[in-house]
Structure 1
Amino acid sequence: MSTGLLAQYLLIGLAVLGSVLIVLRKLAPQLTSRWLAAASIRCNQPGRAAWLRAVGRRLQPKQATGDCSDGCSTCGACGTKPPAGAKVEATPLEFRPRK
């Protein structure tokens, strides 16, 4: 295997891994938050190197403050507010039979 082909495989693998992580963050935010918290705890232990502790602090997931302005959407009570003066109409769904 040539060096160029190996580099190509590594770049494709990194792109696929990055895509999987982005999809996981979108579809399973609580799971990835737990993973980040676990990795943060492992990295940010006393006796570790300073750079590793800095990585651990950076990996800590953001905590919800419990107020509706943080946008955590964990309780489902917060929603997007329409702009002032905007008329919001609910449109009913229409189901049409297949032809």
Structure 2
Amino acid sequence: MNTFAVVQAVIIGLLVLGSAFYAFRKLLPGVSARALASASASLNKPWRSPLLQRLGRRLQPKQATGNCGDGCGTCGTCGPTPPKNARPDVQPLEFRPRQR
């Protein structure tokens, strides 16, 4: 087997692996968030090397950060954050068909 075929097989394998990871994240967001949180928790231990700890912090999903101001709703204690330019005196338009 020549070198070109090996390099080609490695590149194609990496592309397929990346595509599968992207599809996993898009199609199963809850499962992928739990898997990433588990991997992040195992890598982010004090006895791990700083490189692995940095990778664990980078893998940590946004839902697991514990920021109550983001309105993620994972803990059930905070509601959605209202838009900054929302005005309570503005009523939405409601269209109804004409009466005949």
In the superposition, the TM-score normalised over structure 2's length comes to 0.64
Alignment of 1:69-84 (within 5 A): none
1:28 corresponds in structure 2 to 28
Runs of 4+ in 1 over 3 A off after TM superposition: 64-67, 72-75
What letter is aligned with 2:2? S
Match of 1:60 in 2: 60
2: CA distance, partners of 1:88 / 1:52 = 55
How many angstroms does 1:3 deviate by?
1.2
Shift of 1:62: 0.2
Q: 1:88 to 1:25 in 2, by over 3 A?
A: farther
Q: 1:54, CA displacement in angstroms?
A: 0.6
What is the CA–CA distance in structure 2 between the aligned matches of 1:6 and 1:57, rounded to whole Å?
A: 34
Which has the greater radius of gyration? Answer: 2
Instruction: Give 1:96's aligned residue.
Output: none
- Percent identity of the aligned residues? 43
Pairwise CA RMSD of aligned residues?
3.0
Aligned residue number for residue 94 of structure 1: none
